[in-house]
Amino acid sequence: MKIGFFGINTGVFSTREAIIKVAKTAEDAGYESLWTGEHVVLVDPQSGSSPVPPETNMVDTVATLAFIAGITERILLGSGIILLAQRNPVVLAKELAGIDVLSNGRLLFGVGVGYVKEEFDVIGIPYEERGARVTEHIEAIRVLWSEKKPHFKGQFTQISGVQSNPRPIQKPHPPIIVGGSSLPAYRRAVKQGDGWYGFFEDVETTAASIEGLKQAAQQYERPAALGELEITMTPPGPVDLDTVKRYEDLGVTRLVLLRGFEDMAAPQSDKELAVTLRHIEDTAVALKIN
């Protein structure tokens, strides 16, 4: 089982010093990957759909991954997840290719749709278009990353007569990992993703999601070039070896751990950071990561 750590750009971990300490502690402890969370803006006052209070610090995903690339050597860098419908795919392809180049091929490109309507409203993206945009943006980015003469004609993006270099180091491109626990997300993962990412699901809920992915695979053709779908999951809270085994038995190949959802919203403090660093180290020992 691959073990990652989630939320390195949010709440408790949202300062320069905290990000450095968490990134280096996780890398030294043998974790496979570090993952960001993403909300470009937060609803004020907090509504039922918004996951954390509006005062929560959440450093931009691209900025965070680029920063971590410069202070680490081995650990993989995951966007968990980029709300792709809210991004310009041409600009994002350039930014993320740069991260892959500067990290020497360590990017994991996690994408998702998003679910907070107010966030789309302020950005100027029609909420009802978010699914279609994500589906199309994935393909536009794939074209820019992998085709010698990029050409793409979609509803939202048209690409021709341009080059976007440097391309990512990973070939044909960094893994594209589709997040979300809905029928459209399962379909998108099967048809477009190298992997699927579920968030905050216990073992039983994960089993249901994997069944949903299997049903989608029966309905939609998976391109042979994508190979087997890799399953990533963030479980709710700490796990032990027995829990890891239960996820593994379901077919999960990567767990991206979160000490607790409250870490995402808590203000940065030296005390909480110290507790988290100990948790990262203790978990590595308990799960025999090294």
Number of structural domains (the chain) is: 1
| The 3-state secondary structure of 153-190, one letter per residue | ECCCCEECCCCCCCCCCCCCCCCEEEECCCHHHHHHHH
* Domain around 47: 2-286
Residues 172, 120: Cα–Cα separation, whole Å: 31
Residues 6+ apart with CB under 8 A from 110: 35, 78, 79, 80, 81, 82, 177, 178, 179, 197, 232
Instruction: Give pLDDT tens digits for 211-259.
Output: 999 999 999 999 999 999 999 999 998 999 999 999 999 999 999 999 8
The encoded tokens of residue 208 equal 């249901």
- CATH number of the domain at 156, please: 3.20.20.30
Residue 266 has pLDDT above 80, yes or no: no
- Kindly tell me the sign of the dihedral angle through the C-alpha atoms of 275, 277, 278, 283: positive
Q: What mean pLDDT do residues 43-65 have?
A: 93
Residues 124, 7: Cα–Cα separation, whole Å: 26
pLDDT value of position 290: 76
Bridge pairing between strands 152-153 and 158-159: antiparallel
Residues 179, 181: Cα–Cα separation, whole Å: 7
pLDDT value of position 80: 95
Burial class (CB in 10 A: 0-12, 13-18, 19+), 207: middle
- What percent of the chain is modeled with pLDDT above 90? 92
- What percent of the chain is modeled with pLDDT above 70? 100
pLDDT value of position 265: 78
pLDDT value of position 270: 87
pLDDT value of position 136: 98
Cis amide leading into 150 (omega within 30): no
pLDDT value of position 256: 98
Burial class (CB in 10 A: 0-12, 13-18, 19+), 53: middle
Q: What is the CA radius of gyration of the chain?
A: 18
Q: What mean pLDDT do residues 174-180 have?
A: 98
| The 3-state secondary structure of 61-115, one letter per residue | HHHHHHHHHHHCCCCEEEECCEEHHHCCHHHHHHHHHHHHHHCCCCEEEEEECCC
Give the model's confidence band at 264: pLDDT under 50 very low, under 70 low, under 90 confident, else very high.
confident
